[in-house]
């Protein structure tokens, strides 16, 4: 069973917002670009490869070398002061910073180590961004080993909620196409060469998550993932303000990551949150704990594909989420439950399978009564957990003591996107 995370365990994200890409330009192109040295109030006022500082669009660099050895240091290398370790997509020199992380391993103990995570404190939207264009609950055999335990040889995948995919994936897809579910994944701190090219491997970077909002005014989902016929642009978003926090602003959900031969994987767990577009609006926010992910990148960094996200959905989250599946009878719902929540449905199918208690104290028990709703909650030792409202026994699942969860695997893919600011 996994030990609790350390300092980075406070990450969190609402998964429905917006953001940017960025390609490093040559110095001549940046200097001559339309945004350089023009007046600005926000990042949106500056062109690609420039950023807003004190009311002016500026560019510090086009390659990493411009930051390590600034042009003004030529001929005076002895007293040269580096501006940073690398040049980001806005033409700004940035530095990495040391943070203590718990690296998740499945073939040995978890390792706590201090490492320099490139891009960790970079401003939101200054890395390589992707808008998620495909999202689905994975099949039973897709997922991660979330609890560190195997049921048998080769049976280590945790995805207890796979059966919800047959009911909800079509609606999730419609939520993507309609622009109701918008999630941005940002790769910050990517190592590029002197020509601004990424070569397929990076020992340390940060992967960040944001909810997004369509930057089009008026709202137009038709260009979220591709350029429509007869138009010239697509894939522009604003970051959902609920996805960022702190001074200066930073992603609420970020994890250290590594890329090897174009395959990215996160190195520590992060909770995330996103809009579940099933049932009638307003759609609920689903929180997923202990999230790990992996994905492949194309050589031009234009697409992220074969993505897999795995984690655990807490009982309390499911108890606050309307159950749209059991308004009619189907192969999962043997009775009509018009006022139920997802925990009523799931508890009738399987018990909790991931202990995310702090401290870990064994799996709680949920009992479903004759009405099809939760009738009793108990600790692992049998002690009863009282309902929040005694007249509604199922509200025992809302108590903070109910800290267990259900594992889930989610597949995803995305296309390059551009962040043009923060939404209102």
Give the pLDDT score at 75: 62
Q: How far is CA 142 from CA 162, 202, 221, 383, in A?
A: 9, 25, 30, 35
Q: What is the mean pLDDT of the chain?
A: 79
Cβ-contact 30, 49 below 8 angstroms: yes
303-314 and 285-297 strand pairing: antiparallel
Q: Please name the residues in contact with 116: beta carbons below 8 A apart, sequence gap of 6 or more.
A: 96, 97, 98, 204
Residue 69: band (very low, low, confident or very high) from pLDDT cuts 50, 70, 90:
confident
Q: How far is CA 55 from CA 35, 39, 46, 411, in A?
A: 12, 5, 10, 42
Alpha carbons within 13 A on the beta-carbon side of 226 = 6
Q: How far is CA 99 from CA 292, 371, 391, in A?
A: 18, 50, 48
d(CA 288, CA 283): 16
With a cut of 50, say whether residue 9 has pLDDT above it.
no
Cβ-contact 30, 87 below 8 angstroms: no
At 26-42, the pLDDT tens digits run 222 222 333 445 777 66
Burial 115-139 (b: 16+ CB within 10 A, else e): bebbbbbbbbbbbbbbbbbebbbbe
Q: How much of the chain exceeds pLDDT 90, in percent?
A: 36
Beta strands in 298-349 (DSSP E): 303-314
Q: Cis ω on the peptide bond leading into residue 248 (within 30° of 0)?
A: yes
Which of 101 and 352 is assigned the larger pLDDT?
A: 352
Average pLDDT over residues 187-193: 88
All structural domains of the chain with their residue ranges: 1-22+98-424, 23-95
Residue 324: band (very low, low, confident or very high) from pLDDT cuts 50, 70, 90:
confident
At 112-132, the pLDDT tens digits run 554 678 888 889 999 999 999
Average pLDDT over residues 215-236: 91
Cβ-contact 325, 333 below 8 angstroms: yes
Give the pLDDT score at 27: 21
Cβ-contact 401, 385 below 8 angstroms: yes
d(CA 416, CA 193): 20
d(CA 57, CA 187): 24
């Amino acid at each position: 069973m996994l030990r609790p995370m350390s300092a980075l365990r406070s990450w969190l994200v609402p998964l429905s917002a917006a953001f940017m890409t960025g390609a490093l330009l040559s110095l001549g192109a940046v200097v001559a670009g339309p945004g350089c040295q023009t007046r600005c109030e926000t990042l949106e006022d500056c062109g690609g490869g420039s950023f807003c500082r004190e009311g002016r669009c500026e560019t510090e660099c086009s390659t990493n070398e411009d930051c390590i050895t600034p042009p003004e240091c030529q001929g005076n290398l002895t007293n040269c002061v580096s501006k940073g370790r690398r040049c980001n997509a806005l033409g700004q020199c940035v530095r990495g910073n040391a943070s203590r992380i718990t690296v998740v391993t499945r073939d040995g103990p978890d390792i706590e180590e201090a490492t320099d995570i490139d891009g960790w404190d970079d401003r939101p939207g200054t890395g390589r961004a992707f808008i998620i264009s495909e999202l689905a609950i994975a099949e039973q055999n897709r997922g991660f080993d979330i609890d560190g335990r195997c049921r048998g040889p080769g049976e280590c995948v945790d995805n207890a909620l796979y059966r919800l995919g047959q009911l909800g994936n079509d609606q999730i897809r419609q939520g993507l196409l309609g622009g109701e579910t918008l999630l941005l994944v940002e790769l910050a701190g990517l190592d590029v060469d002197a020509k601004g090219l990424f070569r397929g491997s990076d020992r340390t970077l940060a992967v960040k998550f944001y909810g997004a909002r369509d930057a089009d005014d008026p709202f137009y989902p038709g260009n979220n993932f591709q350029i429509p016929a007869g138009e010239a642009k697509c894939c522009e978003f604003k970051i959902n303000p609920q996805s960022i926090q702190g001074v200066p602003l930073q992603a609420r959900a970020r994890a250290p990551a590594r890329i090897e031969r174009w395959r990215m994987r996160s190195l520590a767990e992060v909770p995330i949150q996103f809009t579940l577009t099933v049932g009638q609006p307003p759609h609920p926010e689903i929180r997923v704990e202990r999230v790990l992910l992996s994905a492949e990148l194309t050589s031009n960094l234009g697409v992220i594909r074969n993505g897999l996200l795995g984690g655990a959905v807490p009982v309390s989250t499911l108890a606050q989420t309307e159950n749209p599946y059991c308004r009619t009878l189907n192969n999962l719902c043997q009775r009509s439950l018009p006022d139920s929540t997802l925990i009523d449905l799931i508890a009738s199918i399987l018990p909790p399978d991931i202990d995310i208690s702090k401290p870990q104290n064994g799996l709680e028990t949920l009992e479903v009564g004759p009405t099809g709703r939760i009738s009793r909650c108990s600790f692992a030792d049998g002690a009863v957990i009282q309902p929040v409202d005694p007249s509604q026994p199922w509200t025992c699942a809302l108590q903070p003591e109910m800290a267990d969860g259900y594992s889930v695997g989610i597949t995803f893919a995305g296309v390059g996107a551009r962040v043009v600011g923060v939404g209102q």
